Amino acid sequence: MSSPELSVIIPAFNEADYLPHYLPTVKAALLHWETATGQSGEIIVVDNASTDMTPQIATQLGARVVSEPIRSIGQARNTGARAAHGRVLFFTDADVAVPLEALAVSMRLMPEGACVGGAIPPLYTPARFGARLLCAFWDAYRTRKGGAQGVAQFCTAAVFAELGGYRADLLMSEDVEFFARLTDHGHRTGQPVRIVDELRVRPSTRRYDQWSSWRMWWWQNPVTARLALSSPRFWRHWYQSTVR
């Protein structure tokens, strides 16, 4: 079999309850693109020191599993990229529903030399009004600033390697920082990033629904999101007390 053209990389920490719901959407999107193009892809789940059945379930669902023992989402993504064989890397999360057309549309933007990468914006639908306001604020903020979350980012493997991937020392906002560097690279080389505005990925709203709105506003605002980004103590709530 020829090498895959596309590698989908999914970092996962204790996602045994979520993978059965969300990973099939990625598989369906990959199959949709493969059927339409005759090309092949792969799905890589990076087990980031899980203590549950995450790696076993990912394997059962048809993903290739690699291990990253250091708890860092940036490092986990980088580990997946090193294990990938595809010319294009598509990064998403283990609790994100990917629309059927997501990979096909993204790959159509990636002919050799035309585009360095891009992103699909998220659509969050939390239950509480305060949380919905926060999500709307970030959607408007990212649109104005031209940034993108790591819930659905893609780029060529060559450029990813050239940029050095995600910063593993950042425990928060590593996706925004990487996309800013990717955007700058695109401007310098005349290969702009593309935001796929006609689609939305749908992340779970578990943290918005289980944490109070004031707590989410405290941890997710443009000021806090820039504070002590390399401090495990400061961001322990995001890593050690992960909502499941």
Mean pLDDT over 18-22 rounds to 97
Confidence label for 1 from pLDDT (cuts 50, 70 and 90): low
How many domains does the chain fold into? Answer: 1
CA distance 129 to 160: 38
| Residue 85 forms part of a structural domain | yes
| Residue 142 forms part of a structural domain | no
| Residue 140 forms part of a structural domain | no
Mean pLDDT over 84-111 rounds to 96
Give start and end residues of each alpha helix (H) in the chain. 19-37, 54-60, 73-83, 102-108, 129-145, 157-163, 174-189, 206-210, 213-219, 236-239
Residue 243: pLDDT over 80:
no
CA distance 29 to 7: 12
Mean pLDDT over 76-101 rounds to 97
Could you tell me the CATH number of the domain that includes residue 35?
3.90.550.10
| Residue 133 forms part of a structural domain | no
Q: Are 40 and 4 in contact (CB under 8 A)?
A: yes
Residue 148: pLDDT over 90:
no
Range of the domain at 80: 6-124+148-204
| Residue 97 forms part of a structural domain | yes
CA distance 50 to 23: 17
pLDDT tens-place string over residues 200-230: 999 999 999 999 989 999 988 888 888 889 9
Averaged pLDDT of the chain: 93
Q: Are 84 and 42 in contact (CB under 8 A)?
A: yes
Question: Tokens 């980031």 identify what position?
Answer: 48
- Give 220's strand partners: none
Residue 194: pLDDT over 90:
yes
CA distance 190 to 116: 9
pLDDT value for 146:
78
| Residue 186 forms part of a structural domain | yes
165 dihedral zone (left: phi>0; alpha: psi -120 to 50; beta): left
Confidence label for 232 from pLDDT (cuts 50, 70 and 90): confident
Least confident of 53-67, 141-155, 178-192: 141-155
Residue 160: pLDDT over 80:
yes
pTM of the model: 0.95
**For the chain, what percent of residues have pLDDT higher than 70?**
98
| Residue 210 forms part of a structural domain | no
pLDDT value for 19:
97
| Residue 84 forms part of a structural domain | yes
